[in-house]
């Protein structure tokens, strides 16, 4: 299934709507080149979860854990951006495995290919964003 997005707002809203179908333990990966809109989509997720805090790209601190308002038995949204990662060990060191697949947590992961071995044993919802032209994006969900 795929969607076409013409604006950042449309991508944000798609992320926001995606929340309705999520359950604790879910892991979403977001692939696509720099500037595709992966972080925009995750900002939409956070908004859908009722997170009021500003969601920034965690490229510099790798992992951000957002506490959710009481809802849906999901307590945390973990936003991981592996772009600058040199080895999967780095995310193990900062405690990712406590959250990955945990029943009260949803994880959204940018540049998942950097930690592919850690993700192998999980069922992943893969989102791929491709830049078409200017602000147009193709967003595939599976
Ligand atoms: N249709 C669109 N969907 C998402 N972002 C878009 C779109 N059109 C333009 N943009 C812009 O592209 C950039 C995407 O940034 P970001 O989400 O940080 O990318 P990524 O996390 O994939 O590197 C933003 O500056 C955003 O305004
Ligand atoms: Mg990003």
Domain containing 95 equals 2-141
Q: φ and ψ at 44, to 5 degrees?
A: -65, -40
Cβ pair 80, 108 in contact under 8 A: yes
Beta bridge partner(s), residue 106: 77
Residues 89/74/28/116 CA torsion (nearest 10 deg): 20
Ligand that lies nearest to the alpha carbon of residue 44, given by its number in the listed order:
1
Q: Is the CB of 132 under 6 A from ligand 1?
A: no
Q: How far apart are CA 52 and CA 44, in angstroms?
A: 11
**Per-residue confidence band for 58, with pLDDT thresholds at 50, 70 and 90:** low
Q: Is the CB of 40 under 6 A from ligand 1?
A: yes
pLDDT tops 80 at residue 71: no
Mutate to test the pocket of ligand 1, among 6, 8, 109, 133 (most ligand atoms within 8 A of CB): 8
Tokens of 18: 């995606």
Query: In the chain, how many domains are there?
Result: 1
Q: Read off the CATH number of the domain in which 117 is found.
A: 3.40.50.300
> Can you tell me the mean pLDDT for 90-97?
94
> Can you tell me the mean pLDDT for 81-96?
93
């Amino acid at each position: 299934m795929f969607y076409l997005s013409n604006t950042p707002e449309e991508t944000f809203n798609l992320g926001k709507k995606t929340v309705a179908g999520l359950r604790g333990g879910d892991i979403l990966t977001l692939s696509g080149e720099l500037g595709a809109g992966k972080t925009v989509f995750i900002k939409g997720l956070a908004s859908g979860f009722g997170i009021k805090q500003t969601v920034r790209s965690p490229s510099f601190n790798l992992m951000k854990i957002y506490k959710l308002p009481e809802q849906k038995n999901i307590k945390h949204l973990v936003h991981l951006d592996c772009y600058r990662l040199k080895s999967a060990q780095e995310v193990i060191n900062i405690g990712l495995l406590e959250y990955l697949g945990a029943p009260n947590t949803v994880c959204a992961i940018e540049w998942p290919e950097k930690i592919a071995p850690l993700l192998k044993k999980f069922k992943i919802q893969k989102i791929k964003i491709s830049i078409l032209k200017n602000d147009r994006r193709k967003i595939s969900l599976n």
